[in-house]
Homo-oligomer: A and B are copies of this chain.
């Protein structure tokens, strides 16, 4: 969300296009704007920073900012699409014979053990969230993202299992899985913010996840064991 891991320009000989200077510059500009914006937001709060200021700091016009980002919030929540799609990807790419629910929770376990951002365990992530909590528009957007995540996962589950269109189960399963992920990573964020070591946090997060898993029914846990096509 904040930075790291996006220098995939190494892919040259692969399937893509030549990747000229233009495309690269655009990507750089976009990144620069987003990074500067996020920095200012974290430092002074979402409301207190104006788009004009961001544009100024990034040395572009306000219109250019809006060329790249549809709304101020998008400067903060970059890569929304990736977040929304992640659980669905886990399900679609699960290994044959594994249940969908297991795939999602397995991804979460993986994230925890890698101290991943996705599990809320990265330096500075708590400040990121503090910023969100303090700005109602950001909080709203985040909740909308979570809803879209559940919605997308629901659609994926239906595709993968061919459930009847009036079967209410996948809807509940999707919502519940997303919920569990959110609760676990929220807990991890909190613990990290309180200064616990990564190992402690990871242990606690896994324990919570186990608890949640035990609370869920077999129905949930075995949901969609049908192998991926």
Contact = CB atoms under 8 A, between A and B. Distances in A.
Interface stretch (A17-25, A47-55, A90-98, A139-147): A139-147
A180 B172 contact: yes
A137 B211 CA distance: 35
19 contacts: A137-B140, A139-B147, A140-B141, A140-B144, A168-B183, A168-B187, A168-B208, A168-B211, A169-B211, A169-B215, A172-B179, A172-B183, A172-B212, A175-B179, A175-B183, A179-B179, A215-B217, A215-B219, A215-B220
Interface in A52-107: none
Contacts of A219: 215
A216 interface: yes
Interface of A: 136-137, 139-141, 143-144, 146-147, 168-169, 171-172, 175-176, 179-180, 183, 187, 208, 211-212, 215-217, 219-220
Nearest to A71: B136
Given A176-B179, A220-B215, A136 B143 contact: no
Count the copies: 2
Of A141, A147, A172, A208, chain B has the most CB atoms within 10 Å of the CB of A172
Given A215-B220, A216-B217, A171 B144 contact: no
A208 to B, nearest CB: 5
A217 B137 CA distance: 35
A136 B212 CA distance: 32
A136 B74 CA distance: 13
Contacts of A211: 168-169
A142 to B, nearest CB: 9
A141 B140 CA distance: 6
Contacts of A175: 179, 183
A178 to B, nearest CB: 9
Contacts of A216: 217
A53 B172 CA distance: 41
Of A146, A217, A220, chain B has the most CB atoms within 10 Å of the CB of A217
A205 B167 CA distance: 12
